[in-house]
Structure 1
Amino acid sequence: MRVRPHQAFWLATAEAILARRTGSAQAFVEAHFEPFAIVAEGFLTGYYEPLVAASRVREGPFTTPIYRRPPDLVRVSPASPDLPGDGTFAQRLADGTLAPYPDRVAIMNGALEGMGLELAYVADPVDAFFAQVQGSARLRFPDGAEMRIGYHGKTGHPYTAIGRVMIDRGMLPEGGATMQTIRAALAANPDRVAEILSANRSFVFFRERVSMGEELGPIAAGGVALVPFRSLAVDRSEIALGTPVYVETTLPGHGPFDGVTIAEDTGSAIVGPARGDLFMGTGPVAGAIAGEMKAPARLTVILPRGIA
């Protein structure tokens, strides 16, 4: 509330109430909050923090770079219709003018080489791609040390789902695109990896993030560490960060799920009042759930009385 009051318009108003909390959490919420069902049709996906083998230097199989944010990449406010995508990112040229930033194809062809932006290197370009899709990753080096990386800007070009591209190009059946099937198809067709990845012109940059411990996830847009099955990515133009959201849905392989989450993150594909992306945790087990997660959902926001 004190560090990021701008994230939810009701935080400053509710601070005095929240500071007086006494008794059980349930009694406090029942006394001071009220639920509002979102009547739009809800849809929930999942995301996770990949665990990826990496090297600090380019050696052996580790040849695909994970890039820091370039110094000439700037955020534009207000958005410009002359820029691609949502018009919020651009390249600031030497004369101070703005231009579209080089897209994924240009970066894959060496547009950033020689700038010293490499945070680390991974062996599989598909791992690097999915780290960008998830917005974070935990890199594990040969000596056992780890580095957590998190989103730090993008080129601004529109995001294209490669699963849809692979369906259209005959690599996957209609309705058959999950993270697992995408990975399997690309592993079976290594000669087509560059072609498929290039279809998504958007490219994400990272920075090293402080680890809050093994049990918690990465630091995300809300400025706090994500908690498995309790942190939700939302469209922040519809639901302010910091808002409690009660989620009812079905998890693949696990059946019905319901619980209170907190809106703590955002994503370029998360658009709409009842669209959510549930954080599943770190590593391959969480990834297996997140990769299959596509389900109807009912979302209910929980707001202080008198605020809505």
Structure 2
Amino acid sequence: MNKILVTGSNGQLGSEIKYIASNYSFEFVFTGAAELDITDRSAVWSFFQSNQFDAVINCAAYTAVDRAETEVERADSVNHLAPRYLAEAAKEFNLKFVHVSTDYVFDGETFRPYSEDSIPNPKSVYGLTKLKGEEAILQSGLTNSAVIRTSWVYSTFGNNFVKTMLRLGAERPEINVVVDQVGTPTYARDLATCILDILPKLSNSKTEIYHFSNEGVCSWYDFAKAIMEMKDLVCKVNPIPSIQYPTPAKRPFYSVLDKAKIKSDFNVEIAYWRDSLAQCLRQTS
């Protein structure tokens, strides 16, 4: 396996794959919407007919969770139809395939870590479109493929919670952050490393679902507090309930992911969330 197509390469995860690409012996082709419109089925087929790949990593996603409540068609096109088209092409050309999904496929109404066998029940348009994308891949008949669900992704690249907290922490004396939504932050570089490490090992007769986040559990409030403390920002973080911070899309109150399967199948070692946050912050202004 030598040549890998990475779609959505300008996002957080795609940018982190670019950053670590030189650590691997693969040949990478990175595409964004300008190079390949994955929501256009004919464009996808034409691209795969004109280029030879051994594997595809789909990092593309519509991630504007609140805006998705009104931009339903656009969210569905990127999160559902595009993965379907990519999976169909990967099936036709016998390619390995990795697709990244989300903890938002769950309703967050339980308080035990979600395993791959847990029943999805999304409460937002974003979560629903991501689930439909998963289902399209599972129904494609792909082999040597994986759907990897992750949560609370941040990076040195792009816009994310960490970047927002650093900006607000420098601008304001205090901020309010919800304390009753619990999950696990995921450093996109850790996820990128995991994907590239397991990709050559994928050998299955059907698409497998895996969960990956960093280790540990925290609330958004805990996450924000850690960011302020690690960067020596004097901004006070006030814990508030979600009811005091209403959003168009409903978020899961609990979305901790059980990672036993990916650790067992691929001998993956996963870093503690605070350790990975510290690593990211050392590279973030």
The TM-score with structure 2 as length reference comes to: 0.26
Structure index of larger Rg: 1
The TM-score with structure 1 as length reference comes to: 0.24
Identify, as 1 or 2, the structure richer in helix: 2
